[in-house]
Structure 1
Amino acid sequence: MSKQEGINAISKAMTALPAQLSDTILKHIHSLTDYEPVIGIMGKTGAGKSSLCNALFAGEVSPVSDVAAGTREPLRFRLQAGERFMTIVDLPGVGESESRDAEYAAMYRQQLPHLDLVLWLVKADDRALAVDEHFYCQIIGEDHRHKVMFVISQSDKIEPVSGNTKSLSIPQLRSIRRKTEILSTLFTPVHPVCAVSVRMQYGITLMAERMIRCLPREASSPVSARLQQPLRTTRVKETARTDFSEAVGDVLDSIAAMPFVPQIARTVLRYVRNAVVSVAHVVWDFFF
């Protein structure tokens, strides 16, 4: 299976369209298949950002640019898996000092419009959440709440800590449930709060499935292709497959609404739309 075979299959579903219009649509679909997602990850020092990224994503990581010591710039890393790329933006955690938080606020306002998703890590044993709440309400605001996914990290460290090194104890699971309820009440997030422990491999698969559902349509398939292989579950693939086919449908809808498209071509576009979306759903594996 190759990308070109997928493009050819979609092209066949559009044979009734004028060649120029079909070529325009195919260029937009090419852009969808080549989309490079950008995911921000934030959390206080020691929240386990690097270990979580390593647990989630496969590929070689390389810094996009050097950041001089003392500057308040986010670190950007490009993740390559085969011919595919994704950018991870390491955003500084808030609450470590008031002066830095003021600088970070401007940084976040600048970065947020360019991020597909923000993974906001809160350590399981962190009870100081007032600054996080203030920052979330004042900086994230209503415009970008849909981009934030809260993650309770290092769940194995929540009290009461047991001597079990392989799985969370029942009392710990109860504590995690309470922590989840606290964050849900405090932040009223758009997306469900996830709890993970990289060390015990707890909650990683569920988090990956939820993360794919949180992403914009154009980003879910490229991100799913960069997940560690065991995390590419049936649910992940089906969510991404549906998102891709619907994104293709969005392309046809947007082109049909353009003023330069003749009425007869607009009618044909609407006629072939469902067929093109169905084909895109079937050939998803050719691309991702």
Structure 2
Amino acid sequence: MNNPRGLQPLNHSLSGLPQWVSERILQQINQLTHYEPVIGIMGKTGAGKSSLCNALFAGSISPVSDVAACTRDPLRFRLQVGERFMTIVDLPGVGESGARDNEYAALYRGQLPRLDLVLWLIKADDRALVTDEHFYQQVIGEAYRHKVLFVISQSDKAEPGSGGDKLSTEQKQNISRKICLLHELFQPVHPVCAISVRLQWRVRVMAEQMIKCLPREASSPVVAQLQCPFRTEQVKEQARDDFGETVGVVLDTVIAFPLIPAPVRAIIQAVRTTVVSVARAVWDFFF
């Protein structure tokens, strides 16, 4: 573990355990702090995928896969902040090419198990959602619905467009209707977000929702990649709680290990609450 200021209190909270047990636990916590999240982002051409990624994330971006890659190998970009990494997978939007939608279905089925979250961008002025709905039901299905966060992008282009520096009341009303429509069509697990990157409208709210939707082990590493304005207290509190819970799961896993003697299990069980509390307290040293 490369952060002694965070390590020392955790080590101390495990001091009643045999050294080999505490080392095993610390090793697994270390893996947690270096988890590399993978987020898919999908949407039709012009949905604003690049704009959203540039607005949200602070890391320097480098392509992992060839720009000329075939559709079966979606573009992957690695983000880096200090020693931390995260991968963005650029997934093609459906409905633009009927001939390719079957190919996209195969691509998604191969990618979904490896993604922590999918940001599904739908333009505020996009009315052609029949293919999206079919794709969602047939490909995403029950197994991966929890991994999808719908985002209505480019809300400043909602009717009636004004081109101004803030959304009109009519635009906001139409966006509310669009949110209701997406809930009706897709019955998503998570609340639908609506944003305008150009106007910086509700991007912070969307970032907070994204952190809530992520698996517990992924939320802290993603928070570490966010631009400063989006590292809100609410976001950090969510990530702290998630980190504490994942550390608790590490202890539970060790308790369940068959070779652990019963007295040692009892000690781990006794210190579990303290260790989780310490993990939350030292979160800032790691992330």
TM-score, structure 1 length as denominator?
Answer: 0.97
Q: How does 1:1-288 map to 2 (within 5 A)?
A: 3-68=3-68, 70-163=70-163, 165-288=164-287
Task: Give the deviation of 1:67 after TM superposition.
Answer: 4.4
Task: Give the deviation of 1:261 after TM superposition.
Answer: 1.1
Label 1:119 to 1:267 Cα distance change in 2 as closer, same or farther (>3 A).
same
Task: Give the deviation of 1:65 after TM superposition.
Answer: 2.0
Unpaired runs of at least 5, structure 2:
none
Q: After superposition, give the CA deviation of every residue in 1:35-90 in whole Å (9 maximum; x if it has no partner).
A: 11000000001100000000100011000121435543210000011111100000
Q: Is contact 1:44–1:122 with CA below 8 Å preserved after alignment?
A: yes
Q: Is contact 1:10–1:280 with CA below 8 Å preserved after alignment?
A: yes
> Structure 2: how far apart are the matches of 1:265 and 1:236?
36
Q: Is contact 1:76–1:88 with CA below 8 Å preserved after alignment?
A: yes
> Structure 2: how far apart are the matches of 1:4 and 1:191?
37
Would you say how many aligned residue pairs link Structure 1 and Structure 2? 286
> Structure 1: how far apart are the matches of 2:72 and 2:282?
44
Give the AA of the match of 1:109.
R
Q: After superposition, give the CA deviation of every residue in 1:82-140 in whole Å (9 maximum; x if it has no partner).
A: 11110000000001112211001111011000000000000000011110011001000
> Structure 2: how far apart are the matches of 1:264 and 1:189?
46
Which stretch of the first structure deviates more once superposed, 173-182 or 61-70? 61-70
Q: After superposition, give the CA deviation of every residue in 1:174-193 in whole Å (9 maximum; x if it has no partner).
A: 01110001001110101000
Question: Could you say what secondary structure the match of 1:50 adopts?
Answer: helix
Unpaired runs of at least 5, structure 1:
none
Identity of aligned residues (%): 66
Q: Is contact 1:67–1:73 with CA below 8 Å preserved after alignment?
A: no
TM-score, structure 2 length as denominator?
Answer: 0.98
> Structure 2: how far apart are the matches of 1:148 and 1:4?
37
> Structure 2: how far apart are the matches of 1:67 and 1:261?
50
> Structure 2: how far apart are the matches of 1:135 and 1:156?
27
> Structure 2: how far apart are the matches of 1:213 and 1:67?
32
> Structure 2: how far apart are the matches of 1:85 and 1:60?
10
Give the AA of the match of 1:84.
R
> Structure 1: how far apart are the matches of 2:219 and 2:71?
32
> Structure 2: how far apart are the matches of 1:211 and 1:74?
22
Give the AA of the match of 2:28.
H
